[in-house]
Structure 1
Amino acid sequence: MRPPCLGRWAERRAVGAGPSGTVRAVAPGVTASVLVVVLGGCSGQGSVQAGSAAEAARAFARAVGADVRSACALLAPGTRETLEQDAGPCVTALPRVGLSDPGGVRDVEVYGLDAWVRLEHDTVFLARFDGGWRVTAAGCVPQGPGEPYSCEIERG
């Protein structure tokens, strides 16, 4: 499953599910030509930004185990807000999530302002802000072909 690239979609919902966790369907009547036009505008910057997105995902993974304040600073604002609403201050909540060592980077895809970094044992979704890439979801595992990812940390 590849995340869409529609603006700050990853900040709003990195895993493609609605508020109740159900997958949102595309409205009837959307034609393939419309999808081609929309998705066609997402290409072109992937290779330029892939390295910095991968580095942001690796920096987050390193910081979770060594410098929680830095890891919290690498979360997108909405993701951090959701974590803190659900579990308290980020510096105490993030270690309790229990993210394991994600391993090395296997694949990076960039869609405009959004990125998807697949690591050996994790998938991390990111969004590009003025200050650089920020994590919108982490600890993500696919639920099956065509299904949304289940993430330990994500914006609600």
Structure 2
Amino acid sequence: MVRSACLSALLAVSLAVGGCASASRDLAQRAAEEFEAAVASGRPERVCELLTERAREGVDCSSLELPRGEVREVVVWGDAARVRTDDDTLFLRELSSGWRVSGAGCHAVHDRPYECEVGGP
């Protein structure tokens, strides 16, 4: 009886954690898609709103030209995420205001951190 109750409790916790991870993944993906759409449609105010404060430093949001594409992979680690599209890698952070892009136009460099056109990982 106790064993059954413990297994039920473990299953409930696993489902709750899995549900949170899935929700975070969905929200990070949505933010990345919204960012890319704002860049593509020339909406600089929205582009800047979707960047973290640090990523905005030294960036002219009205003249960003970044690779775009469909989202292929979203990986979330707590309050950080990496979103890979057909032609780009974006890094996001979860802030009190929601998911924001901390790095865009990023590409891997062998044995080194990603290099990004905007912000960084």
TM-score of the alignment, normalized to the shorter chain, above 0.5: yes
More strand by share: 2
Which of 38, 53, 56 matches 2:28?
53
Superposition deviation, residue 48 in structure 1: 2.5
Q: Give the match's secondary structure for 1:116.
A: strand
Please give the TM-score of this superposition, normalised by the length of structure 2. Answer: 0.76
Whichever residue aligns with residue 139 of structure 1, its letter is G
- Does the CA contact (< 8 Å) of 1:113 and 1:128 recur in 2? yes
| Match of residue 137 from structure 1 | 103
Q: Give the match's secondary structure for 1:83.
A: coil
Q: Give the match's secondary structure for 2:69.
A: coil
| Match of residue 96 from structure 1 | 63
Which of 58, 61, 81 matches 1:115?
81
Whichever residue aligns with residue 152 of structure 1, its letter is E
Superposition deviation, residue 111 in structure 1: 0.6
Please give the TM-score of this superposition, normalised by the length of structure 1. Answer: 0.60
Higher relative contact order (CA 8 A, sep 6+): 1
Q: Which runs of 5+ in 2 are unaligned?
A: 1-16
Could you tell me the percent identity over the aligned residues?
Answer: 36
Number of residue equivalences: 102
